Chain A
Amino acid sequence: MMQGLLFQVILLIKLINKNMKIKDFQTKETNTWCPGCTNMSVLRSIQEVLTDLVNEGEIKKKNIATACDIGCHAKIFDYIDASGFYGLHGRTIPLCLGLKIGNPELTVLGFAGDGATYGEGIAHLIHNCRFNADFTMIVANNKNFALTTGQATPTSAKGYKGASTPSGVKEEALNPLVLALTSGASFVARGNVLDPQQLKRILKESIKHKGFSFIDILQPCLTFNNFTPYLQKHAYNLGEDYKADNYDKALEKAREWDYSMREDGKIATGIFYQKERPTFQGLRDKLKKPWYKVDRKIDKEKIFKEFV
């Protein structure tokens, strides 16, 4: 009887210990974001979601791999305790695909900004929407290049004034959601950093989604482009009645807002579109295992024989 109880206590302790906590995803690195930066909220959301997913048995911590761009948001690399590659500006997406090629079992999360994803590396975004490899691309969209002191990006609104555009941006902004949808992304969402509960739901779904998940997170930059009041006024939640499996509807919703600062802007947030289709990995029977575990028998004589 006593033995049984002891066993149960030990099991309970084991279970508690096994339970991941947020601190397991935190690091001791000094945070160098501006005080009150919206990136803090995204970081916290990611850590919470990863903790939950590990505890729910959906993913394994050791299999998480991040790929980070260059920019303020990318400093997240140093603040999440997980494996990862701190890459080059604009190249996070191909780095993510590479991680999946090298080890299809990895849970891959890409972090990049709007300048990197919609400017420097836009070709990669378009093609990876087509490829549909199973990873999650999280774009911190503050509608400016913050770390380089506030220059305009492709999603800066027409009229945006930065040091490189003192008289205001002349062109209309790019709509990344429309681009992702028309390029074939199988999961398209927009997050609002001011609504962390919804953001966490989106992040969780995106990581669970089998295929290329694309999330554009609207994140005012308190130093160079603080559109918090606009976001507060114009953003609305797609809500529970919205069905994300309708492509035409998703496109219609995505076109509702053109990333401008118009007075009549209506900014829907949530999961716009989610429909699974064959993944990059699913379409390639070679991509079923981590290559470093493959023990290949190489018959050189046979390889040579083809040439005689």
Chain B
Amino acid sequence: MQKTILVGGKAGHGTAFTSHFIGKVFCSLGYYVFNYRDYPSLIRGGHNFNVLKISDQPIYSHSNKFDVIIAFDQKTVDLHKDQLKEGGFILGDKKLEGDKIKKIDLSSILEKLDAPEIMENNILLGWLFKYFGIEEGVLFEQAKEKFKGDKLKLIKKSIEEGYKLSEEKEKIKKNGKPKYFISGSEGVGVGALNAGIDAYIAYPMTPATPVLHFLAKKEDEHDFVTFQSENEIGAVNNAMGSSFAGAKTMVGTSGGGLALMSETLSMAGISEVPLVAYLAQRTGPASGVPTYTSQGDLKMAINAGHGEFLRIVVAPGDAQEAITRTEEAFYLSLKYRALVILVNDKHVAESDYSFKELKSSDLDNQSFIIKNPSDDYKSYKITKDGNSPRAVPGQGPTVRASSYEHDEYGYTTEDPEMTTKMNDKRMRKEELIKEEVKKLNPVSVYGKGKNLIIGWGSTKGAILDSLSELDDYRFLQISYISPFPKEKVKKEIEKSEQVFLVENNATGQLGDIIAEQTGHIIKDKILKYDARPFVPSDIINQINK
């Protein structure tokens, strides 16, 4: 079974809610669902839509041909009617104009129920699920999760009205155990909770903000703090202070915000104060296409900040990976007193994925702060492996962090010998981190085949879903960009006949990094930079051309 449903309307119609609700219902029945969210940068009006792909098999992407279009306005009909599949239909109000529309007299039902316009979606949901042969009770169960009291009663009534007007045309049965339904942003939030986050500090910026919203709601239950600072520079400096004082701290922003933070990222490098920076990419440059997806900031992530310093850059490819990679980000950052940039794409951050189960990486989630530091504690002790034991203010001895070059105690130095020693000390940590990252699946290979597709981040979903329709291709996903898993990538490229690079940007940034790290220049690039995510057909058509 596979179905693709588009839900479209003006901002404020509840398209995001409706599609999420449909997704939850199918997940509760054991189906796999991928939910793509497409919305312009406005609060009311415009045209928002979601695409749900529902399947009895695991699915990680959407497509642009629909079985059903739920239209809350005429614009949805006009824009998407040509994307209807053979036998597909549009569901909406009786006032809609066009072919293949199942028209419902929504206003008279609303009048009858004395219900506000927002209840329209529940009437349509009732109609649709009756059509699919799914019992009302399944919908009520889902509604109960979100609503209560009079509102819940009204929702139930609205669903019933829709149900009454529809006819059962299909008999969709259960497909095993319920599936987990989670967005990439929720994945990042869950990863942070699993890691035992103490402080999340941010300034709102799409598409990073859902993490702030998610975590802000969890403060009480999990006993930690979230704070919206005055701007990104304030946020990241708050974070540096907070982390230095011993809190497990994370900041979140998008490309423009990371640009503002970059001087402080450099300070994280020299001061060796742990920091996890969440970067949710959107389409740039500058204000760009702010509510849409992109992979244009990879090179910024590996280069942001002046001077030379160590950093870890990791990019999850879906919501499950968002959980584990966030856990890893905290672990590596705290253990090695390092900056970790967690790079997400809007397409991962704001899409909902479904899974049979959710997994944690189960890493040690301590803070790696030493117990009882001595009176002669050295904040920057020069050690063989470069990692200096971490103490925090308040424990007893004087603990110093500095943005200046410093000696072992953290006092300022301009001495050439000490400057070299400290640089070497910091850089020596790279070997440690490389060894540790090897254990964290820095690359993953999916499928079998003599040809190779290489990608990172959100393209994972569309590539995975295109493999079955490609001849002899496997997929190499690179999750750690720094330290770069160069041997593994080199080996995979060298044993392949045809190699394609897939990236949601205009220049093939990962391709450049691969060339720099392995010497292999990938000529066949499938690049997309129209501010929209890949769907499998984009990849299949290009490769089969």
Contacts and interface: CB of A to CB of B under 8 A. Distances in A.
Given A81-B398, A103-B394, A292-B367, A96 B180 contact: no
Contacts of A83: 393-394, 398-400
Contacts, number: 187
B180 A307 contact: yes
Contacts of A292: 245-247, 367, 369, 392, 394-395
Interface in B162-185: 178-182
B264 interface: yes
A300 B239 CA distance: 25
A251 to B, nearest CB: 23
B32 interface: no
Contacts of A304: 180, 190, 358
B178 A308 contact: yes
B59 interface: no
Given A98-B242, A291-B247, A105 B271 contact: no
Given A290-B245, A291-B247, A62 B396 contact: yes
Interface stretch (B110-118, B228-236, B447-455): B228-236
Contacts of B178: 308
Interface string B188-216: 00100110101101000000000000000
Interface in A24-48: 27, 29
A286 interface: yes
Interface in B422-437: none
B84 to A, nearest CB: 31
A126 B245 CA distance: 24
Given A82-B398, A86-B401, A101 B227 contact: yes
A94 B239 CA distance: 9
Contacts of A64: 393
A27 B198 CA distance: 33
A303 B193 contact: yes
Interface string A59-87: 00011110100100001011001111111
Contacts of A294: 198, 223
Contacts of B223: 286, 294, 296
Given A102-B247, A292-B247, A94 B237 contact: yes
Contacts of A124: 230, 233-234, 237
A284 interface: yes
B242 A101 contact: yes
B412 A95 contact: no
Given A298-B196, A307-B182, A85 B412 contact: no
A202 interface: no
Contacts of A78: 411-412
Contacts of A29: 411-412
A98 B394 contact: no
Contacts of A97: 234, 238, 241
A106 interface: yes
A290 B198 CA distance: 10
Given A94-B229, A298-B194, A88 B411 contact: no
Interface in A262-308: 284, 286-287, 290-292, 294, 296, 298, 300, 303-304, 307-308
Interface in B237-255: 237-249
Nearest to A91: B237
B365 A298 contact: yes
B240 A303 contact: no
Interface string B403-429: 110100011100000000000000000
Given A62-B396, A300-B194, A102 B241 contact: yes
A203 interface: no
A127 B360 contact: no
A103 B240 contact: no
B219 interface: yes
B186 A62 contact: no
Contacts of B403: 70, 86-88
Contact of B241 (A82, A99, A123): A99
B264 A291 contact: no
Contact of A98 (B224, B241, B410): B241
A145 B411 CA distance: 23
A99 B27 CA distance: 44
A302 to B, nearest CB: 9
B393 A103 contact: yes
A127 B400 contact: no
Contacts of A94: 229-230, 233-235, 237-238, 241
B402 interface: yes
Contacts of B238: 94-95, 97-98, 101
24 contacts: A62-B396, A63-B394, A64-B393, A67-B241, A78-B412, A85-B400, A86-B406, A94-B234, A94-B235, A97-B234, A98-B239, A99-B241, A102-B198, A102-B244, A102-B245, A123-B230, A127-B234, A290-B394, A291-B248, A292-B394, A296-B196, A303-B190, A303-B193, A307-B190
Given A86-B406, A101-B227, A290-B246, 15 more contacts: A27-B411, A70-B403, A84-B400, A85-B240, A85-B271, A88-B267, A98-B238, A99-B393, A100-B241, A101-B247, A102-B247, A124-B230, A292-B246, A294-B223, A307-B180
Nearest first, the 9 A-B pairs at minimum CB distance are A98-B241, A102-B245, A292-B246, A102-B242, A94-B237, A83-B393, A291-B247, A291-B198, A127-B230
